[in-house]
Structures are given as structure tokens and as C-alpha cells.
């Protein structure tokens, strides 16, 4: 009878007392969980991710993270969807695999930004894209410098870079949400430029004649249609910079063709505009 008493009554009481005696992780590390949005497992207990022996810590082993698994394996135990996305998608943003991996962009504990991001959506991307980078032998531009030195910023960027780009991986070029061509000359089929129709009306391209769908027209002749629907359809980026530029309507200063580049010399006017690029002489349009 007595043995039973010890086992069922005192033992749990003693264990519980011992447990209550132990300092909690958050007694000393409260700063990590202070931000508004808390990662669910950090709410539930630090031990899911840290195999820290509380009896010895911090005196004996204050250095080292003692993660229960390596990153990203640890994250993938609960976020299988992200693993699927990264393992099976054609075009992967290589930062998800570099030294810091997921921690390049996320906090594992808490954050003031939705999706546990370590900075707001725009700063997050620009902090890294403050230099040129190699992607399959081509160089990406320094987007931070472009934004700082341009007078006109595409309003699409107000919603952050993820209005158009996927952060982890994408089936499309340039990690885009939907299609956009990599070549300067690409057929004017509207599917090829799907990313633009996420926000703009594709009539600006599709209608050969219009007096409303676009201001880039000569009378009723749609010059978007004329430039893109020809035998050698010209991509939007032959005239526009999709991020930012110094000219009205996001028109670029210079077109680069391999080693050559030439100026567009675009001049807007109240009823139209003109340009004098290397591909044809001066040309004006009037609405
Ligand atoms: C009595 C205070 C205290 C308690 C309780 C405590 N820690 Fe710590 N912890 C420290 C100190 C001090 C350090 C060393 C300095 C630092 O990195 O903040 C440390 C370091 C760490 C580190 C390593 C940081 C690094 O950069 O190497 C981890 C991980 C950690 N603690 C996790 C935990 C977890 C998980 C718990 C609960 C199981 C816990 N700690 C409980 C005080 C504490
Ligand atoms: C979802 C997994 C996960 C949970 C849950 C978690 N951590 Fe961490 N913790 C990490 C990872 C990953 C790092 C490394 C962060 C980095 O490399 O930037 C880390 C880093 C740390 C560090 C090092 C200092 C720092 O700011 O990076 C401490 C201390 C720490 N964790 C304590 C805790 C405590 C205390 C809890 C519970 C409140 C906890 N962790 C819950 C994954 C987790
Ligand atoms: C023990 C399970 C577990 C582990 C391990 C874990 N997470 Fe989570 N995570 C969750 C849960 C639960 C949520 C709450 C939202 C949900 O159900 O998807 C969440 C939410 C998130 C969110 C926000 C999602 C949203 O829709 O707001 C991000 C980002 C995230 N985790 C990243 C990570 C990263 C990075 C790691 C590795 C360091 C990690 N998680 C490890 C369980 C986990
Ligand atoms: C380049 C920055 C970056 C890296 C690196 C990164 N993420 Fe994300 N992640 C984001 C952004 C931005 C979002 C929010 C997307 C949105 O809101 O449209 C996000 C969303 C998430 C979500 C929410 C669900 C979803 O898919 O939208 C989870 C979970 C997540 N990330 C986990 C991870 C894991 C795990 C890793 C490491 C393998 C990782 N992330 C690496 C930027 C990143
Ligand atoms: C920690 C640094 C880092 C952060 C943060 C980061 N990137 Fe990147 N990004 C890179 C590197 C390195 C490359 C070149 C290697 C690659 O991914 O192919 C790259 C490439 C790209 C590319 C070109 C991909 C292609 O296939 O042409 C795009 C687009 C891009 N990043 C957008 C973003 C966006 C949007 C964000 C914010 C959600 C972001 N990046 C955040 C480092 C970063
Ligand atoms: C309106 C949609 C849109 C938004 C918003 C957007 N991008 Fe892009 N991005 C594109 C398109 C389209 C391309 C491919 C054409 C090109 O290179 O200009 C691209 C290409 C890129 C590239 C690779 C090629 C290059 O131009 O260097 C990087 C890096 C990049 N974007 C980063 C960013 C960052 C960082 C942000 C946020 C500050 C952002 N993008 C916001 C549409 C967008
Ligand atoms: C996330 C939404 C969004 C996406 C995607 C988007 N745009 Fe925009 N864009 C806007 C908004 C908002 C404006 C400002 C209002 C307007 O002119 O419709 C704008 C304006 C423009 C302008 C300048 C018009 C002016 O009057 O100055 C051009 C040029 C442009 N976009 C081109 C593009 C191209 C090319 C694409 C595809 C690569 C694209 N946009 C994709 C939202 C978007
Ligand atoms: C040959 C050069 C050229 C090409 C190629 C081009 N645009 Fe334009 N676009 C212009 C000019 C010039 C304007 C300014 C018209 C005006 O208001 O005078 C303009 C205006 C716009 C506007 C503002 C609204 C409007 O239609 O007037 C949007 C949005 C736009 N373009 C999107 C696109 C998209 C999307 C593509 C690719 C599918 C594209 N453009 C291709 C020259 C071009």
C-alpha cells in the first residue's frame, strides 16, 4: 500500500516541484519571442528545435545552437509544402540553399512582419539585391541602386517585390508569378506576357485598333500591337523598365543588344510622343 502511495502521489509531486524549480528558457531569452507574430512551435516549446540540456545550460554549454536537426531539414519536418516546392520546381532562388538558407529571410522565433520575415518585403529583397549577381552566366542588375537613382518607380512595387516574384522557386523565368520572356524578340501572344496582365488589361496589346485601350497609338492604330504582333515581336523591356526609370511611362534610356547599346531618345508630348532609336529614324505618334 505504501509503495503505491509513493509511486502515485509523491513521485509526480516531487517531479512537478523539480520542474517548476527549473528556469524556463524564456526567463533569459525573452527577447527572441517579443515581436508581434510568434512562430507556433516557439510558442509551444523551445525543445522542438533546440536539444539544450537545461540542467547544464547556460553554465556548461553556452555556445552552439544544439538544433535537433540541420536546416532546412528541421523546417521541412513541418513545412513539407515548401520542400516540395523547392525540390520540384524548375527555377530555384539559390539563396534558399546557401549558408543561412531559410534564415536569410525568416526568423525562427518571432517577427513584426507577416510570414515571419526578417525585414519588410521590399527591404528584404533590396538588402541583398544591392549588387549584381550571376544567374546562369547572366548578370542581374543592382536593383537597390536602380530604385535609388530613378525618378519614376513602377507603382507595382508598392506592394513589395512579391507582387510579381516568388521568393522560393518558380516555374517561370526570373522567379516570376506568371510568364514573361527572356528574349528581346518574342511573339506578341498575350500568354507570353502574362505577368503584366495580372494588373493591366491585355487589350493594350491585343486590339489592333482602339481609341481607349492604350495611349501608345497613332490615331487609332495601337502601337503596342504594331510593335509586338509583327513577325519579330518586341518584348516590353525593349521600351520599358519594369522596375524603374528616369523617364515618363517607365521608358528606358538605352537598349542593350549583346555588346551594343543605343539610346531610345524618347520625348513625350501632350498628344503623343517621339523616339529616335537605332532601329529606325525619328518617329512620332499622335493620338
Ligand atoms: C539562466 C538563464 C538562461 C536560461 C534559463 C536559458 N538560457 Fe540559453 N543562454 C543563456 C546565456 C547567458 C547564453 C550565452 C549568451 C547568449 O548567446 O545569449 C545562452 C545561450 C543559448 C544558446 C546558444 C546561443 C549561441 O549563439 O550560441 C541557445 C541555443 C540557448 N541559449 C537556448 C536555450 C534554451 C532552448 C533554453 C531552455 C531549454 C535556454 N537557453 C535557457 C542563458 C539562459
Ligand atoms: C522552429 C525551430 C525553433 C524554435 C521553436 C526555437 N528556435 Fe531558437 N533558433 C532556431 C534556429 C534555426 C536558430 C538559428 C538562427 C539563425 O541562424 O539566425 C535559433 C537560434 C537561437 C538562439 C541564438 C541567438 C539568436 O538570436 O539567433 C537562441 C538563444 C535561441 N534560438 C533560443 C530559443 C528559445 C529560448 C526558444 C523558445 C522560446 C527557441 N529558440 C525556439 C530555431 C528554433
Ligand atoms: C514543429 C513544427 C514546425 C517547425 C519545426 C517549423 N515550423 Fe514554421 N510553422 C509551424 C506552424 C504550426 C506554423 C503556423 C502556420 C501554419 O500552420 O502553417 C508555422 C508558420 C511558419 C511561417 C509563417 C507561415 C504563414 O503562413 O504565416 C514561416 C515563414 C515558417 N513557419 C518558417 C519556418 C522555418 C524557416 C522553420 C525552420 C527554422 C520552421 N518554420 C520550422 C510549424 C513549424
Ligand atoms: C529570399 C527570401 C526567402 C528565403 C531564403 C526563404 N523564404 Fe520562405 N518566404 C519568403 C517570403 C517573402 C514569403 C512570403 C510570400 C508571400 O507572402 O507571398 C515566404 C513564405 C514562407 C512560408 C509561408 C507559406 C508559403 O509558402 O507562402 C513558409 C512556410 C516559408 N516561407 C518557409 C521557408 C523555408 C522552410 C525556407 C528555407 C528552405 C524559406 N522559407 C526560405 C522569403 C524567403
Ligand atoms: C540573402 C540574399 C538574397 C535575398 C534576401 C534575396 N535574394 Fe534574390 N537572389 C540572390 C542571389 C544570390 C541570386 C542569384 C542566384 C540565383 O538565385 O539564381 C538571386 C537571384 C534573384 C532573381 C533572378 C532569378 C532568375 O532566375 O533570373 C530574382 C528575380 C530575385 N533574386 C528576386 C528576389 C526577391 C523578389 C527577393 C525578396 C523576396 C530576393 N530576391 C531576396 C540573393 C538574394
Ligand atoms: C511589375 C512586376 C515586378 C515587380 C513588382 C518587381 N519585379 Fe523584378 N522583374 C520583373 C520582370 C518582368 C523581370 C524580367 C525582365 C527584366 O529583367 O527587367 C524582373 C527581373 C528581376 C531581376 C533579374 C533581372 C534583372 O533585371 O536584373 C531581379 C534581380 C529582380 N527582378 C528583382 C526585383 C526586386 C528586388 C523587386 C522589388 C524591389 C522586384 N524585382 C519587383 C517584374 C517585377
Ligand atoms: C502588381 C500590379 C502590376 C503588375 C503585375 C504590373 N503593373 Fe504596370 N502598373 C501598375 C500600376 C498600379 C500602375 C499605375 C497606374 C496605371 O498606369 O495603371 C502601373 C503603371 C505602369 C506603366 C506606366 C504608366 C504611366 O502612366 O506612367 C507601365 C509602362 C507599366 N505599368 C508597365 C508594366 C509592364 C510592362 C508589366 C509587366 C512586366 C506591368 N506593368 C505589370 C501595376 C502593375
Ligand atoms: C516600342 C516601345 C514599346 C513597347 C515594346 C511596349 N511599350 Fe508600353 N508604352 C510605350 C510608350 C511610348 C508608352 C506611352 C504612351 C503615351 O502615353 O504617350 C507606353 C505606355 C504603356 C502603358 C501605360 C498605359 C497605356 O497603354 O498608355 C502601359 C501599362 C504599358 N505601356 C505596358 C506595356 C506592356 C505590358 C508591354 C509589353 C507587352 C509594352 N508596354 C510594350 C512604348 C512601348
Per-residue pLDDT tens digits for 204-261: 999 999 999 999 999 999 999 999 987 788 999 999 999 999 999 999 998 877 778 8
| pLDDT number for residue 150 | 97
Phi and psi (nearest 5°) for 265? 50, 55
What pLDDT score was predicted for residue 256?
79
Rounded-to-integer distance, Cα 124 and Cα 105, Å: 7
- The answer to whether residues 257 and 184 touch, using CB atoms and an 8 Å cutoff, is yes
Q: Tell me, in angstroms, the distance from the centre of ligand 6 to residue 141's CA.
A: 9
> Long-range contacts: 222-231, Cβ < 8 Å, 24+?
223/285, 225/188, 227/188, 228/188, 229/188, 229/205, 230/188
Q: Quick one: which ligand is closest to 54's CA?
A: 1
The rounded Å distance from CA 65 to ligand 1 centre is 9
Measured CA to CA in angstroms, residue 266 lies from 77, 219, 254, 275, 276 at distances of 54, 19, 10, 4, 7
Mutate to test the pocket of ligand 4, among 82, 159, 178 (most ligand atoms within 8 A of CB): 82
Cβ contact 109:32 at 8 Å: yes
pLDDT at res. 230? 75
Please work out whether the CB of residue 116 comes within 6 Å of at least one atom of ligand 3. Answer: yes
Q: Is residue 106 lining ligand 3, measured as CB closer than 6 Å?
A: yes
Look at residues 141, 169, 148, 122 and name the one whose alpha carbon lies nearest to residue 237.
Answer: 141
Distance in angstroms (rounded) separating the CA atoms of residues 243 and 236: 12
Going by CA atoms, what residue is nearest to atom 30 of ligand 4? Answer: 82
Sites in the chain below the pLDDT cut of 70: 1-21, 54-55, 60-62
Rounded to whole angstroms, the Cα distance separating 162 from 39 reads 21
CA distance 219 to 230: 19
Residue bearing cell 523616339: 275
* Shortest-distance atom of ligand 6 to CA 143: 35
Q: Which ligand is nearest to the CA of 21?
A: 1
**Residue-wise burial string across 127-141, b where 16 or more C-beta atoms lie within 10 A, e elsewhere:** eebeeeeeeeeeeee
CA distance 58 to 196: 54
- Spatial neighbors of 230 by CB under 8 A, at least 6 apart, are 188
Residues enclosing ligand 6, CB less than 6 A?
A: 122, 125-126, 129, 140-141, 143, 154, 156-157, 161, 163-165, 174, 176, 180, 195, 237, 242-243
* Cell triple for 19: 520542474
In whole angstroms, give the CA distance from residue 179 to residue 170. 10
State the pLDDT at residue 64. Answer: 77
Compute the residue count for the chain: 287
Q: Which residues line ligand 2 (CB under 6 A)?
A: 25-26, 29, 32-33, 39, 41-42, 46, 48-50, 65, 67, 71, 103, 108-109
User: Do residues 68 and 74 make contact, with C-beta atoms less than 8 angstroms apart?
Assistant: yes
242 C-alpha vs ligand 4 centroid, how far in Å?
24
What nine digits make up the cell of 233?
515581336
Amino acid at each position: 500500500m505504501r509503495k503505491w502511495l509513493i509511486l502515485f502521489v509523491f513521485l509526480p509531486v516531487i517531479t512537478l516541484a523539480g520542474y517548476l524549480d527549473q528556469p524556463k528558457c524564456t526567463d533569459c531569452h525573452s527577447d527572441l519571442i517579443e515581436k508581434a507574430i510568434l512562430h507556433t512551435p516557439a510558442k509551444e516549446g523551445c525543445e522542438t528545435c533546440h536539444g539544450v540540456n537545461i540542467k547544464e545550460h547556460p553554465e556548461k554549454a553556452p555556445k552552439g545552437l544544439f538544433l535537433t536537426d540541420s536546416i532546412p531539414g528541421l523546417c521541412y519536418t513541418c513545412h513539407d509544402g515548401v520542400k516540395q516546392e523547392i525540390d520540384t520546381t524548375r527555377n530555384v532562388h539559390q539563396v534558399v540553399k546557401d549558408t543561412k538558407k531559410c534564415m536569410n529571410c525568416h526568423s525562427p522565433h518571432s517577427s513584426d512582419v507577416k510570414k515571419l520575415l526578417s525585414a519588410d518585403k521590399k527591404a528584404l529583397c533590396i538588402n541583398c539585391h544591392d549588387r549584381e549577381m550571376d544567374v546562369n552566366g547572366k548578370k542581374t542588375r543592382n536593383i537597390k541602386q536602380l530604385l535609388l537613382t530613378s525618378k519614376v518607380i513602377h507603382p507595382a512595387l508598392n506592394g513589395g517585390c512579391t507582387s510579381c516574384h516568388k521568393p522560393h522557386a518558380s516555374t517561370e523565368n526570373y522567379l516570376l508569378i506568371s510568364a514573361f520572356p527572356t528574349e528581346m524578340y518574342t511573339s506578341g501572344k498575350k500568354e507570353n506576357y502574362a505577368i503584366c496582365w495580372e494588373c493591366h488589361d491585355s487589350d493594350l496589346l491585343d486590339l489592333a485598333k482602339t481609341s481607349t485601350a492604350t495611349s501608345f497609338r497613332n490615331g487609332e492604330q495601337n502601337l503596342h500591337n504594331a510593335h509586338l504582333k509583327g513577325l519579330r515581336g518586341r518584348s516590353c523591356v525593349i521600351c520599358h523598365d519594369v522596375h524603374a526609370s528616369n523617364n515618363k511611362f517607365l521608358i528606358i534610356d538605352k537598349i542593350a543588344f549583346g555588346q551594343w547599346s543605343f539610346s531610345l531618345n524618347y520625348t513625350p508630348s501632350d498628344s503623343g510622343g517621339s523616339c529616335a532609336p537605332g532601329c529606325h529614324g525619328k518617329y512620332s505618334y499622335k493620338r
